Amino acid sequence: MLGRATGRRAVAAVAAVLLGGTLGLTACGGGDDGGGKGGGDASRVEVFSWWTGPGEADGLAAMIEEFKRRNPGTQVVNAAIAGGSGTQAQAVLASRLQNRKPPDSFQGHAGAELLDYIKAGQIEPLDSFYDENNLRSSYPQQLLQQITYQGRIYSVPVNIHRSNILWYNPRILKDAGLSGPPKTIAEFKTALKTVKDRTGKVPLSLGAQWTADHLLENVLLGVLGADAYNALWKPGADWSSPAVTAALNDFAEIMKYTTAEAASTDWQGASKAVVDGKAAFNIMGDWAYGYYVNPAPNGLGKKVDADFGYAPAPGTGGTYMWLSDSFTLPKGAPHRGGALAWLKVAASKEGQDLFNPKKGSIPARKDADRSLYKGYLEYAFNEWNKPGVKLAGSFWHGVYASKRWHTDIDTAVGLFLQGKDVGKLQSALVNAAKNNAQ
């Protein structure tokens, strides 16, 4: 469970990084908010997210059903917008917030991603909500620190995801003569070449451009290790170092074993290529697990070990690259009472235990029913709480990089995909860090 002492100590290692740079947390807060107070229109609630894919959509639907059970008089509008990692949804959300037409609650990644909303005054602090619903003891203390800015809490986490998972097709690895998944970046590069030469299958599947950003964070972690990777997000970090150069060269080499055609698909297509026997490997977050094992029509109904296997991304064994989905209370929410009722479900043990087994994640709360988490999810529980585990925050999924930094990195990767120039990629990343030091 997240609340075990080992899990809390592990989170503390990363908490120090974020406390020093990502959110600029302070011990002072001052004043109170109305986040926990009832009142406001509760006849309806519009829930905005990007959970439209198999697994994630099922989990959201389960949480909505729990909301309806608790609030039979409230209409629920599921305003989910398709697009992996939320790229399309966030663009729509930004426009709505700027035009003062917010949804009643919207999904956001806990951490630096919420900074822009906080600084723009677009979301309310939720300190009173936490106090009135006795939530401060329900979450690991260090996780709460990640969603706190200047002493105030601004979101309700519903899960913990792991970003650094290598998914693979056991049959293709066997046909290639590989004894198992690669454990290091060097082994990974060799395995990719071996698959290509011996099987003719796609060595590594990718989807839309953001999946290349996701791959980049995994390669950086795999080459640099957790401590050096975490240090990249501190003020004054050296993105021009030889170690980063080596990591980017490895990234460029690995990208040679992907296919350009895959860029027209999203993460689901890239993940499906593995279980369909078209690709040997895919590096994706553990939301892919729900997609793999949930039954049709929303999932693929596949079996672990027979149809797919999993392991830490090469070079990242012993490190948990984490992210957390959360929900917020926008300022000016048109149905504020409905929004608060939704946040109560999102924060509840029941809501999280309904949502996470289908989503393919583990709960953010400490008191989840562990018996519900089987297969990979049991493995994730164990890994999260393993003594000595190191944590690294996912920059692509909102823990370390603000939205502007996130965009700058994405632009740099997009230009790299066109020109394949490692030097230009590194220069762009150096400039992005200088422009976005927090």
Within 8 A by CB and 6+ apart from 434, the residues are none
In the sheet that 44-48 helps form, which strands lie side by side, from edge to edge? 75-78, 44-48, 105-109, 325-327, 156-157
Mean pLDDT of the region 129-135: 96
- Is the model's pLDDT at 19 over the cut of 80? no
The structure tokens listed for 130 are 């936490």
Alpha-carbon distance 233 to 400, whole Å?
6
Greater confidence (5 vs 367) lies with 367
- E strand or H helix at 53, and its extent? none
Per-residue confidence (pLDDT) for residue 11, from 0 to 100: 41
Mean pLDDT of the region 189-193: 98
Q: What angle do CA 365, 339, 341 make, to 5 degrees?
A: 60
Per-residue confidence (pLDDT) for residue 37, from 0 to 100: 57
Lowest mean pLDDT among 115-129, 181-195, 249-263, 318-332: 249-263
Q: What pTM, to 2 d.p., does this model score?
A: 0.81
Per-residue confidence (pLDDT) for residue 36, from 0 to 100: 59
Mean pLDDT of the region 302-315: 97
Q: Helix and strand tally (H, E) in the chain?
A: 18, 14
Lowest mean pLDDT among 34-38, 80-84, 393-397: 34-38
Per-residue confidence (pLDDT) for residue 22, from 0 to 100: 40
- Is the model's pLDDT at 14 over the cut of 70? no
Q: What structural domains and CATH numbers belong to the chain?
A: 5-159+328-385 (3.40.190.10), 162-321+397-436 (3.40.190.10)
pLDDT band per the 50, 70, 90 thresholds, residue 111: confident
Residues 341-363: tens digit of each pLDDT: 999 999 999 999 999 988 889 99
Alpha-carbon distance 42 to 340, whole Å?
9
- Is the model's pLDDT at 315 over the cut of 90? yes
Nearest-CA neighbor of 111 among 289, 285, 233, 288?
233
Residues 222-256: tens digit of each pLDDT: 999 999 999 999 889 999 999 999 999 999 999 99
Alpha-carbon distance 65 to 258, whole Å?
40
Nearest-CA neighbor of 10 among 321, 346, 389?
389
Q: How many other C-beta atoms are found inside a 10 Å radius of the C-beta of residue 181?
A: 21
- Is the model's pLDDT at 167 over the cut of 80? yes
Compute and round to an integer the Cα radius of gyration of the chain: 21
Per-residue confidence (pLDDT) for residue 39, from 0 to 100: 61
Lowest mean pLDDT among 63-77, 291-305, 419-433: 291-305
Nearest-CA neighbor of 24 among 233, 270, 204?
233
Alpha-carbon distance 321 to 282, whole Å?
16
pLDDT band per the 50, 70, 90 thresholds, residue 210: very high
Residues 50-95: tens digit of each pLDDT: 999 877 898 999 999 999 999 999 999 999 998 766 778 989 999 9
Percent of the chain topping pLDDT 90: 70
Per-residue confidence (pLDDT) for residue 35, from 0 to 100: 64
- Is the model's pLDDT at 275 over the cut of 80? yes
Greater confidence (180 vs 299) lies with 180
Per-residue confidence (pLDDT) for residue 408, from 0 to 100: 97
Nearest-CA neighbor of 11 among 144, 112, 130, 126?
144
Mean pLDDT of the region 300-315: 97
